[in-house]
Amino acid sequence: MSSVPLAGKGALPSGRARAFYRRLRAGEELAYTIAATAAASILVITALIVIELYSQSALSRSKFGWSFLGTSVWDPVAGTFGALPFIYGTVITSIFALLIAIPLGLGSAIFLSEMAPARISNALTFLIELLAAVPSVVYGLLGIFVLVPFLRETLVPGLIKPALGSLPVFHGPFYGVSVFTAGLVLSIMIVPFIISVSREVLLAVARDQREASLALGASKWQTVWRVVLPNAFTGIVGSIFLALARALGETMAVTMVIGNTPQIKASLLAPGYTIAAVIANEFGEASGDLYRSALIQLGLVLFGVTFVINGMARILILTTRKGAHA
């Protein structure tokens, strides 16, 4: 009597099953290849940007060298270019904007994620995300026609001059367009990024941890401060540096309210200039090769500043993670 093989765990798959398995493996390999190519393309694009900026700024680099970063004179007529006033303006406006945006953004994110009713939280989150999508030129127009008159006529004379005027950072005349105004506009622009990302990070903290803290007798605020925020710290830091990257590269809104004066002054009430603003303002009028090369070198400097700051953010996040697991 002939024996018929029984189907079971040890039975070999049929030819049709093997063909399907091969097609499935082929699809996985294809998906892996596509995903890996997409990831590698980011590195390639970044490398091409650096190479292009480096090559196009060769004339300026060969003439000025490292002194380009420490020189304060920007004179296209005389052919003398220094990036220090623009680096100073970029860093100061971004830091000042963060000092305002971090407490506002983090406080709003805590309210929306931990305290507000779900209906109100969802509605306000939608409005905040709309603010993040507003074009920067709109913020610049609001800064010129609304914020500058308010600061010049009300806030600065009524608050800063009597109370803080003796401080070097608030000393001197105020004409409206200034580093102070640019920092305020930037803070309004980056707050939505901090709120949106921080809210999602706070909501991602496991509810069990909140319930365990409340069960041990902690108040709502103690739970937020001692349980939720430490667990969400890494994501909150990421949202802050995302906002900082936006502030460093902002062009139109800052250009419209900062005054566009290449000078270094301790007072925030004085006009200033940023790297992105000078590139936008002067690149179309750059007549000589050296002039264009200096502007492109400024772009390379801005890329380097952004790279360094993001690298510092990554180091901070890694350090925080190691400290949490220690």
Domain boundaries, the chain: 60-325
Average pLDDT over the chain reads 85
Give the global pTM.
0.82
d(CA 205, CA 218): 17
171, 267 Cβ separation under 8 angstroms: yes
The confidence score (pLDDT) of residue 102 equals: 94
What would the mean pLDDT of 68-73 be, rounded to a whole number?
Answer: 90
Condensed to tens digits (0 to 9), the pLDDT of residues 170-219 reads 888 888 899 999 999 999 999 998 998 889 889 888 888 888 888 888 88
Mean pLDDT highest for which of 20-24, 106-110, 129-133?
106-110
- CATH topology for the 60-325 domain: MetI-like fold (1.10.3720)
What are all long-range contacts of 65-73, with beta carbons under 8 Å and residues at least 24 apart? Answer: 68/294, 68/297, 69/301, 72/262, 72/263, 72/264
Q: What percent of the chain has pLDDT over 70?
A: 87
What are the tokens at 173? 């005349």
